[in-house]
Amino acid sequence: MSLIQDVISRVHEKETGQPEFLQAVQEVLTSLEPTAIKHPDFVKAKIYDRIVIPDRAILFRVPWVDDSGEVQINRGFRVQFNNAIGPYKGGLRFHNSVNLGIIKFLGFEQIFKNSLTTLPMGGAKGGADFDPKGKTDNEVMRFCQAFMRELYRHIGPNTDVPAGDIGVGGREIGFLYGYYLKIVNANNSVLTGKGLEYGGSLIRPEATGYGAVYFAAEMLATRGQQIDSKSAAVSGSGNVAQYTVEKLNQLGAKTITLSDSNGTIVDEAGIDTDKLEFVFELKNHRRGRISEYADKYKVPYYADKTVWEVIKEQNLKVDLAFPSAHENEIHKAEAEAMVKNGCYCISEGANMPSDLEAVQVFLDNHVLYGPGKAANAGGVAVSGLEMSQNAMRMSWSREEVDQKLQVIMKNIHASTLEASEEYGCKGNYVVGANIAGFLKVAKSMLAYGIV
């Protein structure tokens, strides 16, 4: 057995009950096999064994009181995975499904993603098994305050800078930051994704979705193609999905799907600017269900189906796919159906939305496949730019930030493609992203000695 396979087996043995984390480790480490041959110093310093264990994982109780006066208890997490190249950085997820394994998978992925951005950020993730859906604003506020009551002691502008993820948007960041100010008495920009009035960056809300489309445009350019006039499937209808559709519209593509945890809508005429405005209002203000889109625009709604199941069952044809909801939403059968129906470019807005077999289908069919850690890095990249603006006590214009985002996405694409070529599998963005992200972190860890 190779040294890398040995490390993977040890993780399997020790980290039971964490399937998403095991999956992420298996995908990343398998791609890193050639680096172990080229870098015996990494092997000697046991970099591979060390990188799969977080620096620390904090688990805490979050007690709060709901509107009816009942005491509620949730589990809070912050996994500080690796700070070799910068302060820990990564989002907070509030969703029923959150557990230690999910936060570890996300924190592990974040190490390589943040490295790819070229900005100095280490990898971390946090969250709680709390779902803001169906809660009142007051309940969300009390939960955020209770969560920050513990988290504050583990974070700091040079230590660990959290941000949003599923279930954590502008409202939650406001409540979290307000309570941090109250208890720490330091307006030190310890979170990103802040409101513009109190230190947020222009383009941060748009960044992940826009970035995923910029990444797709770079991939298409390698085949002499562009976004204009392509058809696209987008899953989810939250932050990432919304701004993916907005950018696709700006660049002349037509998006025909959106979804949420209850089902999928298909609008063959395209989700144009007016319809997208309805989605913004529905999801960000009224916090309603995507089925309301189908009622309003008289289009088909598929209850309890994902976008990818609908593509398979209805034989929907799209050129481009932007999975933007959650991990493991695409499995082998759906991936096969996507390819069969002509989809040839997948840019992942979500983290690890394709399972290992689905990824293999994309690679075997030589479609353009941009894995999340490269394609969705625009969000954390603009978080990094928010940190820079905060540190300078200045703010850049919308155009400046968007320009920097475009350059970063171009560079991520180029370094990923270059690494894939250098390590003998040109065009395999999975191997390219993992290797390009890993090398900088590994070399830093090596420089620090055994710590």
Residues taking part in catalysis: 125
Q: How far is the CB of 321 from ligand NDP (least distance, A)?
A: 14
Q: 3-state class of 421 per DSSP?
A: helix
Decide: is 192 part of the binding site for ligand 2IT (CB under 6 A).
yes
Residue 193 contacts residue 173 (beta carbons within 8 Å): yes
Q: 3-state class of 70 per DSSP?
A: coil
- Applying CB under 6 A, among 383, 389, 428, 434 the residue interacting with ligand 2IT is 383
Q: Return the closest-CA partner of residue 282 out of 271, 272, 291, 273.
A: 291
- Applying CB under 6 A, among 54, 101, 238, 263 the residue interacting with ligand NDP is 238
Q: Which two tokens stand for residue 307?
A: 């976008």
Closest CB to ligand NDP belongs to which residue? 238
Torsion angle of the four alpha carbons 268, 271, 273, 275, in this order, in degrees rounded to the nearest 10:
110
Q: Which of residues 299-338 bind ligand 2IT (CB under 6 A)?
A: none
Q: Which of residues 336-355 bind ligand NDP (CB under 6 A)?
A: 349-351
Site track 90-129 with ligand NDP (rule: CB under 6 A), x = hit: -----x-x--------------------------------
- Cα separation values, 409 from 50, 163, 224, 251, Å: 29, 20, 18, 16
Q: How far is the CB of 379 from ligand 2IT (least distance, A)?
A: 4
Q: How far is the CB of 417 from ligand NDP (least distance, A)?
A: 21
- Only one of the segments 88-96, 180-188, 194-202, 323-331 lies at the binding site for ligand 2IT (rule: CB under 6 A); that segment is 88-96
Decide: is 265 part of the binding site for ligand 2IT (CB under 6 A).
no
What is the β-pairing status of strands 301-303 and 160-163? Answer: unpaired
End-to-end CA distance of the chain: 27
Q: How far is the CB of 11 from ligand 2IT (least distance, A)?
A: 21
Q: Return the closest-CA partner of residue 29 out of 122, 109, 115, 110.
A: 109
Residue 76 contacts residue 62 (beta carbons within 8 Å): yes
Q: How many residues form the binding site for ligand 2IT (CB under 6 A)?
A: 11
* Residue 192 binds: one of ligand 2IT, ligand NDP, none (C-beta under 5 to 8 A by kind): ligand 2IT
* Residue 166 binds: one of ligand NDP, ligand 2IT, none (C-beta under 5 to 8 A by kind): ligand NDP
Decide: is 376 part of the binding site for ligand NDP (CB under 6 A).
yes
- Cα separation values, 110 from 86, 120, 151, 230, Å: 12, 12, 19, 30
Decide: is 163 part of the binding site for ligand 2IT (CB under 6 A).
yes
Decide: is 167 part of the binding site for ligand NDP (CB under 6 A).
yes
237 or 255, CB closer to ligand NDP?
237
**Within the chain, how many helices (H) and strands (E) appear?**
19, 12
- Only one of the segments 39-47, 87-95, 228-236, 274-282 lies at the binding site for ligand 2IT (rule: CB under 6 A); that segment is 87-95
Q: How far is the CB of 348 from ligand 2IT (least distance, A)?
A: 11
Q: How many residues form the binding site for ligand NDP (CB under 6 A)?
A: 26
* Residue 89 binds: one of ligand 2IT, ligand NDP, none (C-beta under 5 to 8 A by kind): ligand 2IT
Residue 271 contacts residue 294 (beta carbons within 8 Å): no
Q: Which two tokens stand for residue 388?
A: 């820079």
- Applying CB under 6 A, among 11, 98, 166, 219 the residue interacting with ligand NDP is 166
163 or 358, CB closer to ligand 2IT?
163
The per-residue b/e assignment along 209-228, b for 16 or more CB within 10 angstroms, e otherwise, is bbbbbbbbbbbbeeeebebe
Q: How far is the CB of 101 from ligand 2IT (least distance, A)?
A: 16
351 or 390, CB closer to ligand NDP?
351
- Applying CB under 6 A, among 343, 380, 408, 436 the residue interacting with ligand 2IT is 380
Decide: is 208 part of the binding site for ligand NDP (CB under 6 A).
yes
Q: How far is the CB of 70 from ligand NDP (least distance, A)?
A: 23
The per-residue b/e assignment along 77-116, b for 16 or more CB within 10 angstroms, e otherwise, is bbbbbbbbbbbbbbbbbbbeebbbbbbbbbbbbbbbbbbb
Q: How far is the CB of 43 from ligand NDP (least distance, A)?
A: 32
93 or 254, CB closer to ligand 2IT?
93
Give the DSSP letter string of 201-244. Answer: PTTHHHHHHHHHHHHHHHHHHTTT--STT-EEEE---SHHHHHH
How many C-alpha atoms does 27 have within 13 Å on its Cβ side? 28
Residue 164 contacts residue 172 (beta carbons within 8 Å): yes
Binding site for ligand NDP (CB under 6 A): 95, 97, 133, 164-167, 169, 208, 236-241, 260-262, 324-326, 349-351, 376, 379
Binding site for ligand 2IT (CB under 6 A): 89-91, 113, 163, 165, 192, 351, 379-380, 383
